[in-house]
Amino acid sequence: MIVRAAVLFLSGLLLSFSAHAQDWVWAPDFEVGDTIPAIAAPDQNGDIKTLSDLAGEKGLVLVLSRSFDWCPYCIAQLQKLVDVAPQFAELGVTVAAMTYDSQDTLKAAEEDYLVTFPLLQDVDVKHVTALGILNKQYEPGQRAYGIPEPGIFLLSPDGTIRFKFADQDYRMRPDFSLVLQAANSL
């Protein structure tokens, strides 16, 4: 009974969330139930991480951010993620974040914000392009070229999308309490 109520609650949240911007869909080519393209990206230490390296027993929260160097909304979101990462760990879900930032920038963010999880570098904009979330406002050669439309995937250990969280306005970021509720349902 409690599980059914939780599922109905989460379904209602997700329906109201998706109704917020009916003409805009984050990661439009990847729906809940689809599997994301393979992940192979260097972390802040230069180590290549794959989904099997990243996912916990019940899955992975993958946060796609613009930049931990110059984007105040991304930095604020990263600081919140640092705070809630232990709660995800208690649920058997690990966390990772990905940006187009250089390894040096990711290492500095790790040190500045006391990050204890992988910060992944999207080399050559490979992942955001494959996911269909490349911000098309910027052209190659511009400073912000390679940033995604920010959002969050909650993935099963095999890379199946269990939930997606995003807002059309890059300044608005999904509340991690919603992601924690979804993770708790896994």
List, in order of start, the domains of the chain with CATH numbers. Answer: 2-184 (3.40.30.10)
Give pLDDT, residue 100. Answer: 97
What whole-number distance in Å separates Cα of residue 79 and Cα of residue 111?
Answer: 12
For residues 59, 121, 117, 177, the Cα torsion angle rounded to the nearest 10 degrees is: -60
Q: Which two tokens stand for residue 57?
A: 């027993």
Name the amino acid, one letter, at 149: E
Nearest to 25 by CA among 136, 167, 135: 167
For residues 173, 137, 32, 81, the Cα torsion angle rounded to the nearest 10 degrees is: -30
Give pLDDT, residue 24. Answer: 77
Give pLDDT, residue 3. Answer: 42
Give pLDDT, residue 66. Answer: 97
Burial 138-168 (b: 16+ CB within 10 A, else e): eeeeeeeebbbbbbbbbbbbebebbbbbbbe
Please identify every stretch of the chain with a pLDDT value under 50, giving residue numbers as ranges. Answer: 1-21
Name the amino acid, one letter, at 30: F
In degrees, rounded to 5, the angle at the alpha carbon of residue 60 between the alpha carbons of residues 90 and 159 is 145
Q: Phi/psi zone of residue 10: left (φ > 0), alpha (ψ -120 to 50 degrees), beta?
A: alpha
